[in-house]
Amino acid sequence: MNRVVILIMIMLNLIVAKEIEYQSIEGCSKPSSYLSMSYKMEDNNSINSNIDIEINFISQNDTKIVSINIKEDRELNIISINKSYKELENRDRYDINITTQSLVEGKFYITLYTTTTYNGNFRYKSFIIPIQIGTPKIKYRDRKSDNNFIIYRGVETIGSL
């Protein structure tokens, strides 16, 4: 009897979850900003050389882009930023060209904090662009060590296996 009750509860939860998912897509009640980003840059970056990054934001479903704030790691030096904004039917397009350079080797990040509005509600979303300067360093690990790398859903943590 308990198995039947549990099975019915699971089925009801799935039906309710599907209904909530449908309503959230239709009414934009999910905390999504309906904003997508793409970027282009060269792979072989070296110290003291200019790195040109072309970033494109496109909003959907009558979402308007309010602001985009750029934050770079302190090892990166942003030389120039050029922005252009186009208002298209039912969407916006925001293009950013960034020229940056670094004085040290390593992997650094540019973080873009965005604010959009839809039906009078503000939505916030962050995007990260990784920049590799020099050749990537490969980390070796010892199987006998207590500290091994564990990769879980794209997040790298250090712990015991």
- Find out if CATH 2.60.120.10 is the number for domain 31-152: no
Q: In whole angstroms, what is the distance from residue 68 CA to residue 56 CA?
A: 12
**Strand-pair category, 51-59 with 106-118:** unpaired
Locus of tokens 């300067």: 133
Predicted pLDDT of residue 161: 37
Q: Whole-prediction pTM value?
A: 0.63
Exposed/middle/buried for 90, CB within 10 Å: 0-12, 13-18, 19+? exposed
Q: Could you state, in chain order, the average pLDDT of each consecutive group of 10 residues for the chain (161 residues)?
A: 65 50 39 78 84 90 85 90 86 90 88 86 86 72 57 43 37
Say if CB 113 and CB 107 are below 8 A apart: no
Q: What angle do CA 140, 143, 148 make, to 5 degrees?
A: 70
Q: What is the pLDDT of residue 32?
A: 60
